[in-house]
Amino acid sequence: MAAAAGASAKAAEEPSLRRSVTPWGSFSWGYSDVGADIFVGLGLVLGAAAGASNVAFLFAGIVYVCIGLAYTELAAAYPVAGGGQYFVFRGLGDIFGFIAGWAVLLDFTIDIVLFAWSCIDYLSKLVPILSFTAHPWVHFLVVFGVIAGLAVLNIIGVRESSAFNELVSGLDVVSETSILFFGFLFAFQPQLLIHTMQMSWPTPFNLMNGVSLAIISFVGLESISQAAQETQRPASVIPRTSISLILTILIFALSYSNLALGMAPWHAIPLDPHGHEQPLWRYLGNEDNNGAAVAVLASYVPYFGAVAALYVPVLGAILLLISSNSGVFGSSRIAYAMSGTRLLPSAFQRVHPKYRTPAVSILMFCGFAIVELIFAALPSLSPHVRHLYVRLFRGEDGITFLGDLYAFGAAASYSFVFIALIALRLNDSQSPRRFKMPFNIPFTYKGNRVEFPVVAVIGFLGIVSILAFTMITHEIGRVAGPLWILFGIAGYLVYRRHKGLPMFGSQRHDWRKAQINILQQAGELEMMDEYMANVKRMDDRRAAAEGAR
Amino acid sequence: MRRFVRSEGYARARLISGAFFVVFGVAIAVRTAAIAGFSAAALPAYVLGGAMLALGALRFRDYFARSRQ
């Protein structure tokens, strides 16, 4: 009794996240992460998939819708700040939870560099000295400075305020809609789109490359599920906001790719390096512009482009900086959570004595981000390394190198999330689900009525094919991605052995107690009662079956 | 910003933008059918039209759910 009272008092003393995120806050939290992706992805996909860029976005978009539906179901049923890593940990056990979390950590470290890099690319459209192709050293040092600055800010505990986040997201939705509205109104020619698709259809290799890069335009759904622990009434709010977010991002990605392929530019496009004329989409996808394609596209929209050329680079840079910061924040938060469940050493939970922030995690993952930045920038900084990259990796440019790894990490972690969703549907049918992926096949499993999610299987096949495309088409991603996972698994096994924990198996977890706590803390008391009733019914049924035996 | 997104004006603005999404979604689908027919190349445009229709419908549903409250 005393022990129970003590535990309850301890739980009351433990600091927990305040539930202050509203429906709009939940949307903008996700939007500031996923919405920034199109700013990076558009140019990369146009450079790879040429006239089939819209098809590449379509394929990746359909997979993304499946991923989005899976995250929506899981985040509404398990509203905790762990995202995909927590779902896999819970559905598939410790080692798979570690692998999924480690892949998410790769994505977060790439997120830090890729968005900081692209943020400077956008600013270079207004401040030419920041251009990567013209002044690679300046670009490198400024990106380095941005990452170091974000690390320091996160250690001293400054994070962009939620209100600022919401304001920037709101402005960006209006801005992107305006670019598309004026672009389609004044400059879009459907016949040009069809002509481009027919005349510039890529090879199957380039199409696969484009699809694998297109998925990076849809990465960031982790944010919604990570915000779940701070969202008011998550079971009802999350499905509403995430479906709006999924559709908004899909519409933006498909609209931008169709517009870029079928838009007649307002003024003349510079000639290519060989002195030939080039279409707009090719100009957007070249090395000079692929990091800031949305700003360049906006500047070629008739009339509106005169204004857009001035503000889109700034707005894009701010959104990308927020996204880069979410990488620093997210990586330290996931590492902290993984350390709490003994998937990572306790050092990742060590907080700064003065600022009370997870300083070790922040420094470590920003350190990884700096290493990735050096690998991405080296070929431009040194001609010798460029020759080596051409020989070994077909000479991928810096931003494509980062895109490769981003696609690998996302595809790997999302694949596990689909399997975890299926496992949780079968093994945890007692948890109430206020939102379910559509198209389910009901059947009886271990005496319980369960529903098999067909869309999860489709999504899994889609994301695994994107993972295969990434491995086939990206020389660096094929090596560096699996190496990251293997390096992580080796470290995990050493740590678990050292601590005397099961290396390949799982520790004992009281998921029932955990689920009741989660729902209670979420304020979802009806769901909690429903869960307890379901569990009791299942236990009674099992006891009756054993008695009959 | 938070006060604005809780206001009736914001709800109406979403309803109107939802109506625009429905109109644009239908227009994209109809125009694509007229220009490109039902070829595989037209698929991205059909999905775009469908996504716009769905987003418009979602906004209508949200507005009427809010009105009922």
**What is chain A's pLDDT, residue by residue, as a tens digit (549 residues)?**
333 344 444 444 444 445 555 666 667 777 777 888 898 899 999 999 999 999 999 999 999 999 999 999 998 899 887 788 899 999 999 999 999 999 999 989 998 999 999 999 999 989 999 988 889 999 999 999 999 999 998 888 765 556 667 778 888 888 888 999 999 989 898 888 989 999 999 999 999 999 998 988 888 777 767 666 667 678 878 888 888 888 989 999 999 999 999 998 878 888 888 888 889 999 999 888 888 899 999 999 999 999 999 999 998 898 898 888 888 888 888 888 888 889 999 888 888 888 888 888 899 999 999 999 998 888 888 888 777 777 776 666 667 778 888 889 989 999 999 999 999 999 999 999 989 999 999 998 888 889 999 999 999 999 999 999 988 988 777 888 899 999 999 999 999 999 999 999 888 889 999 999 988 888 888 899 999 999 998 888 888 888 877
Please report whether residue B4 resides in a domain.
no
Assess: ipTM above 0.95. Answer: no
Residue A166 sits at the vertex; the CA angle it makes with A163 and A167, to the nearest 5 degrees, is 85
Please report whether residue B5 resides in a domain.
no
Judged by a CB distance cut-off of 8 A, whether residue B30 touches chain A is: no
pLDDT of residue A350: 85
Residue-range definition of the domain harbouring residue B42? 15-68
- Which DSSP string do the residues of A499-545 spell out, in sequence order? HT--SSS-----HHHHHHHHHHHHT-HHHHHHHHHHHHHHHHHHHHH
pLDDT of residue A9: 44
A192 contacts on B by Cβ (under 8 Å): none
Residue of B35, B43, B55 with shortest CB distance to A251: B55
CA distance A167 to chain B (A): 7
pLDDT of residue A120: 94
Q: Output the pTM of the full model.
A: 0.87
Please report whether residue B62 resides in a domain.
yes
Please report whether residue B8 resides in a domain.
no
Please report whether residue B57 resides in a domain.
yes
For residue A14, the 8-state DSSP code is S
A247 contacts on B by Cβ (under 8 Å): 51, 54-55, 58
Please report whether residue B2 resides in a domain.
no
Please report whether residue B1 resides in a domain.
no
Q: Show Cβ contacts of residue A215 under 8 Å, excluding neighbours closer than 6 positions.
A: A60, A63, A64, A407, A410, A411, A463, A466
pLDDT of residue A159: 56
CA distance from start to end of chain A: 36
pLDDT of residue A5: 42
pLDDT of residue A498: 93
B47 contacts on A by Cβ (under 8 Å): 58, 61-62, 250, 254
Q: Show Cβ contacts of residue A291 under 8 Å, excluding neighbours closer than 6 positions.
A: A40, A43, A117, A118, A121, A122, A132, A399
**Could B55 and A258 be called an inter-chain contact, meaning their C-beta atoms sit closer than 8 Å?**
no
Please report whether residue B6 resides in a domain.
no
- Averaged pLDDT, groups of 10, chain B, 69 residues long: 72 87 91 84 89 91 80
pLDDT of residue A230: 65
- Which DSSP string do the residues of A397-436 spell out, in sequence order? -HHHHHHHHHHHHHHHHHHHHHHHHHHHHHH-TTS--SS-
Instruction: Count up the domains in chain B and report the number.
Output: 1
